[in-house]
Every structure is written in structure tokens, then in C-alpha cells.
Amino acid sequence: MNRKTIEITGELKKFSAIVECMGKITTIDKTKEYYQVEVSYPSGFNEHLKKGASIAVDGVCLTSKDNGHGQLKFDVIPETINKTRFSQLKVGDAVNLERSISASSEIGGHLMSGHVQCIGEVKDIDDKGEIKDIHIEIPSSFSKYIIEKGYIGINGCSLTIGEVNNNRFYIHLIPETLQITNISKLKIGNMVNIEIDQNTITIVDTVNNFLLAQKSS
């Protein structure tokens, strides 16, 4: 994948979808109307990280309350819990972490907002040793945006879509992706966070609206 530099302006937070490291959930407090979650992280991840920073946790943009003593602390609202795999996470689970990119950052994947559109389910895993092929099913309403060789975000990781069959598609995973992300830990039946490339959504919707207008005229 070609790397490129892009300028980010304003307050909109973006991510490159290149996972920096894996963290581990150490606490999930469900005693309030929202979850209070703590995630441990490897040494160095919090360098120059300020309170209130945006961090993608399995592809979900969350605001860090605190990052001291090797722990990131987040408040997770019910809408996020219900629309992502956060409802299934438990203490000890690994999560992908990425800090938001800054102005003129180098982009190694594709731009993502950290706003998950839907949840996918792992239907099959073909373990080929150092590489894996994973078959994922998503809700049918999003299948029109799944295009072979297009980009997709899965648990915050930028991946290329393989073979597509209706609302199911394959992703082909190289050793590096398996080593640094939690996608290597997926099992059949597991859920994954899905963020579809915004450029793909815009193009597909524009073409469909144009064709619909042509039929109506």
C-alpha cells in the first residue's frame, strides 16, 4: 500500500487505520448508565499524550480521561456499546490502539473517523500458517459498499477486501498484521467493528442517486 502525506485541519479527529499496538482491557465498570473502561498499554504509547486525547480502541474513537500508571481510562456511552463489539468485550481481552493523527501526518492505511457503522461476524477462518484468510459477514444493508480490492476498517485496522459474495467477504492477512493486531486472535463467531471507507460510501451513493434520478426523469 502506498504511503502518503495528508494535511488535517480543524478539530475533526482522524486515524490512519495503522494499528500502533495492542492494549489489554483491565477494568470494565458497568455500575453506571455507561461503561468505565481501563486499558493497559505498552511502554511508550502514552508519550506526549494529553488528557482528552482521541484514541481509536478497536477502531472506536474514544476520549482518554487519564493515561497515567500504564492505564488509559475511557467513558463509553450506551450508543457506542450497542453499536460496536464493546458489548462483548471482557477483562483480559486485547484491543487495537491508535492515537489520532496530527497535521501533515504520513498515512500508511486509509483515513478513518473512528465511527463504526456496523458489526461483522467471523464466519470462517482458513489458517495457512503464517497467513490467514478470514470470512466476514455484515448486515445486508451495507453490502453495496463492499467492493473487491476496496478498503475497509476492521477493529481499527486498514485492510483490503478480497472476494465478495453478497454480504460476505474475505480478508487476507499477512504476518505483520497478525503480529501487531488482535485480528490474529479472532475465532469463528466473534464480532468485529466495521468502518467502511467514506470515499466508497460517497461514490456508491452518488452513482445510485444519479441512476435513480435518471429512471424517474
The pLDDT tens digits of the residues spanning 93-147 come to 999 999 987 655 555 556 788 899 999 999 999 999 899 999 999 999 999 999 9
Average pLDDT over residues 5-18: 58
3-state SS string for the chain = CCCEEECCCCCCCCECCCCCEEEEEEEEECCCCCEEEEEECCCCCCCCCCCCCEEEECCEEEEEEECHHHEEEEEECHHHHHHCHHHHCCCCCEEEEEECCCCCEEECCCCECCCCCEEEEEEEEEECCCCEEEEEECCHHHHHHCCCCCEEEECCEEEEEEEEECCEEEEEECHHHHHHCHHHHCCCCCEEEEEECHHHHHHHHHHHHHHHHHHHC
Q: Return the CATH number of the domain spanning residue range 13-107.
A: 2.40.30.20
Please check the confidence at residue 24 and state whether its pLDDT lies above 90: yes
CATH class of 118-205: mainly beta
Cite the residue boundaries of each domain of the chain with CATH code 2.40.30.20.
13-107, 118-205
pLDDT for 109? 54
Model pLDDT, residue 11: 46
pTM of the predicted model, to two decimals? 0.86
Mean pLDDT of 199-212: 91
Highest average pLDDT, of 41-50, 107-116, 156-165, comes from 156-165
